[in-house]
């Protein structure tokens, strides 16, 4: 998921942003866990925000209800890039990613999910297994061929080819 934030993303909005894989924000974007101002705690979004910016910062945000400007959110790791038009820039990033191998992206995102909370040893074993599978994929074969021929790859998985 690629998030484009053009204004306030407060409370649950900050949680949605934290769940994005890439976040592009405009200079007008703001972020914060403001639930405490209403007599509430950000229970539903606490974990994804903590995964994005760290538990200590998330506790501070939740306790203070403070609103972060886009520069502070970028420094904290909630925002990856600041752009004048976040939506246009997010679409550019999405188009770039869409040109890559669907097999590799799917495998990488699966690895991300499956490796979470595993030991280093178990995550390493999973990485070796997924890497072996990618090496045998039609997309990888096409990617290597295209590299050697100095051309853009034509991913078989986009054409409905088998992997």
Q: Which helix (H) or strand (E) segment is 68 a member of? A: strand 68-69
Sort strands 2-5 and 22-25 into parallel, antiparallel or unpaired.
Answer: parallel
Q: Which strand (E) or helix (H) includes residue 11?
A: none
In contact, 90 and 4? CB cutoff 8 Å: yes
Q: Which residue has the tokens 């070796």?
A: 128
Residue 27 designated active-site:
no
Q: Report the C-alpha gap between 124 and 71 in whole angstroms.
A: 35
Asked if residue 33 lies in contact with residue 42, where contact means CB atoms within 8 angstroms, the answer is yes
Q: Which member of 35, 71, 81, 114 is catalytic?
A: 35
Q: Which residues are catalytic?
A: 35
């Amino acid at each position: 998921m690629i998030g484009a934030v053009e204004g306030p993303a407060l409370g649950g909005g900050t949680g949605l942003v934290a769940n994005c894989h890439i976040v592009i924000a405009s200079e007008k974007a703001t972020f914060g866990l403001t639930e405490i101002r209403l007599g509430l705690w950000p229970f539903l979004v606490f974990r994804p925000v903590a995964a994005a910016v760290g538990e200590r910062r998330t506790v501070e945000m939740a306790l203070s209800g403070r609103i972060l400007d886009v520069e502070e959110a970028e420094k904290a790791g909630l925002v990856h890039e600041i752009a004048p038009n976040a939506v246009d820039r997010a679409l550019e990033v999405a188009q770039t990613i869409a040109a890559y191998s669907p097999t590799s992206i799917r495998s990488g995102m699966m690895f991300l999910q499956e490796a979470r909370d595993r030991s280093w040893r178990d995550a390493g074993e999973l990485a070796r297994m997924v890497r072996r599978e990618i090496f045998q994929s039609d997309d990888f074969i096409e990617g290597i061929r295209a590299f050697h021929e100095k051309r853009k790859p034509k991913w078989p998985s986009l054409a409905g080819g088998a992997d």
